[in-house]
Amino acid sequence: MKNNASILKSAKETIELEGQAILNLKSLLDDDFVNATQLIYNSKGRVIITGIGKSAIIATKIVATLNSTGTPAVFMHAADAIHGDLGLILEDDVVICISKSGNTPEIKVLVPLIKNAKNKMIALTGNKDSFLGQHADYVLNSYVQKEACPNNLAPTTSTTAQLVLGDALAVTLLELRGFTSRDFAKYHPGGALGKKLYLRVLDISSVNEKPQVTLNTSIRDVIVEISEKRLGVTAVVEDKKIVGIITDGDLRRMLSKVDDFSSLTAKDIMSSNPKRIAEDAMAIDAMEVLEENGISQLLVEKDGYYAGVVHLHDLIKEGII
């Protein structure tokens, strides 16, 4: 039975072995990678990615990455392809076949069928001299010297290499297309990731109350305003513009210092020049301002005029943090 040290040793050796194999991929990149990338970039069709076994699993991940970064892609299982799914491939589609050996029976049946249809084919294989490598238009070389498996059998290092080459292809295409974070948001509208990319301050502040008082508002009325609007803050406004801010913390500090506040007004306890943000700014930018300044509320402006409040809790609720 392995002890703790031997377990960690095995894990570290696996990571080191795969890491070295990945770094070696750089030396295997050549004009075929460039040409394959340009082929996909200039194609009017989609990218059809196929494989079998563990390579099929890697293919589905590469498909997902391409789709989310602006390159339409479809997964086609190599075994299903020779039993009817070849109909997935359209005239202008580019096919990527993934196979470590490049000599599996399914690949040997599939490759001629793709070639007969005159679709361009890219091989992602660890054996350039294989059947797949010899018949592909371009070869992305994923050769690895050894699997991380101690028996050198289970696909480990080889599938990691395939995945990394798929990422390299996707990122290169992303950059060629000038794909921006705004484009990314279109494909990821759900969840926290999407919200960070498209949610604006207005989307949050518009559903909040809009606490405000004037310079001469009594402290009693300031307390009522903050309590009723339930944001722990109120803006101090003059001619619709922000001139100050009062938080519930300001009120507590005032009460600890004075016994009689009946004659005090908002201007006596407010903080001037509070942090603020435009309503069309991204919500993630508001989060950064709050974090940098150690505050919980941020006043919102529209064209220089007071427009509302965004609270830290709002951003947490939306999954921005």
CA 53-57-62 angle, to 5 degrees, is 135
Question: Of 56 and 3, which is predicted with more confidence?
Answer: 56
Residue pLDDT, tens place only, 106-140: 999 999 999 999 999 999 999 999 999 999 999 99
Task: Tell me if 192 sits within 8 A of 275, measured CB to CB.
Answer: no
CATH superfamily entry for domain 4-179 = Glucose-6-phosphate isomerase like protein; domain 1 (3.40.50.10490)
Residue pLDDT, tens place only, 72-83: 999 999 999 888
Residue pLDDT, tens place only, 22-50: 999 999 999 999 999 999 999 999 999 99
Going by DSSP bridges, is the β-strand pair 121-125/73-77 parallel, antiparallel, or unpaired? unpaired
pLDDT at 100 over 90: yes
pTM, 2 dp: 0.68
Which residues participate in the annotated binding site? Answer: 77
CATH 3.10.580.10 fits 201-317, yes or no: yes
pLDDT given for residue 136 in this prediction: 97
- For the ranges 165-169, 176-180, 309-313, the maximum mean pLDDT occurs at 165-169
Which residues participate in the annotated binding site for Zn(2+)? Answer: 77
pLDDT at 192 over 60: no
Indicate the pLDDT class of residue 190, thresholds 50, 70 and 90: low
pLDDT at 186 over 70: no
Phi-psi region of 206 (alpha: psi -120 to 50; beta: other; left: phi over 0): alpha
Indicate the pLDDT class of residue 182, thresholds 50, 70 and 90: low
As a whole number, the mean pLDDT across the chain is 92
In this structure, the number of other CB atoms found within 10 A of the CB of residue 203 comes to 16
Indicate the pLDDT class of residue 10, thresholds 50, 70 and 90: very high
Q: What percent of the chain has pLDDT over 90?
A: 78
Classified as helix, coil or strand, 300 is strand
Residue pLDDT, tens place only, 297-317: 999 999 999 999 999 998 888
pLDDT at 196 over 70: no
Q: Map out the domains of the chain as residue ranges.
A: 4-179, 201-317
Task: Tell me if 212 sits within 8 A of 231, measured CB to CB.
Answer: no
pLDDT at 180 over 70: yes
Task: Tell me if 118 sits within 8 A of 95, measured CB to CB.
Answer: no
pLDDT at 195 over 70: no
